[in-house]
Amino acid sequence: MTRLIVWRHGNTDWNAGARVQGQTDVPLNELGRRQAADAAELLVRLRPAAIVASDLSRAADTAAALAGRTGLPISTDERLRERFFGDWQGLTMTEVAETRPEEHARWTAGEDVIGGGVETLDDLGKRVSEALLDAALLAPPGGVVVVATHGAAARQGVGHLLGWPREQLRTLRALQNCHWVELTHDEARGWQMSAYNVGVFADRPVPPPV
């Protein structure tokens, strides 16, 4: 049974400030680097066969913490980038709500099309799920692949891969920084979620998945 670990990156200053990152290349902060190192201590026990990461530094550097413990190379895939948030990028969520209230209301309601140049959920789910499927091929049957990506990207990509409607996907809380989803695959049942929001810092507040 193949296992796919979909891992959210560590904390950044923009996470801490509730600022919309999207595809802005914001680096890990000190907490994020520590989270990545601690999470890698758990993930190395899974004996991954391959590591894949978004090319944005906060995800690639999170993956590097695990690569340093396994000796595995990191394959980067830009399809694993966070949702593109268009005109929202760089704003705090409070600023978005104040200056773009209609778009913010659509986002809060979980609508697919937001406006303001924000990538649709459908497009996000398609590109991330395609990257996840390609990543899974890097392991032999029964192997483990770890994929370092982003909050919204992880949730939407996993949901698209499982064939979940948006209404069902909205019942999942946001992934905490450096937490992950575990998916398994076999020929009889296809892809299934076996664990969600697994990680070291279970008692920490959940930053927005942006």
pLDDT tens for each residue of 97-136: 999 999 999 999 999 999 999 999 999 999 999 999 999 9
Answer yes or no: 82 catalytic.
yes
Whether pLDDT at 208 is above 70: no
How far CA 2 is from CA of 6, 104, 148, 187, 208, in Å, comes to: 13, 38, 17, 10, 30
Q: Where are the domains of the chain?
A: 2-85+121-198
Whether pLDDT at 204 is above 60: no
pLDDT tens for each residue of 187-201: 889 999 999 999 985
Total-model pTM: 0.93
* 152-179: average pLDDT: 95
Whether pLDDT at 44 is above 90: yes
Which is higher by pLDDT, 206 or 86? 86
CATH number of 2-85+121-198: 3.40.50.1240
Instruction: Flag whether 177 is marked binding.
Output: no
Please tell me the predicted confidence (pLDDT) of residue 187: 87
Instruction: Flag whether 15 is marked binding.
Output: yes
Whether pLDDT at 203 is above 50: no
How many angstroms separate the CA atoms of 66 and 89, rounded? 29
Active-site entry in 82, 103, 119, 182: 82
* 170-194: average pLDDT: 94
Answer yes or no: 185 catalytic.
no
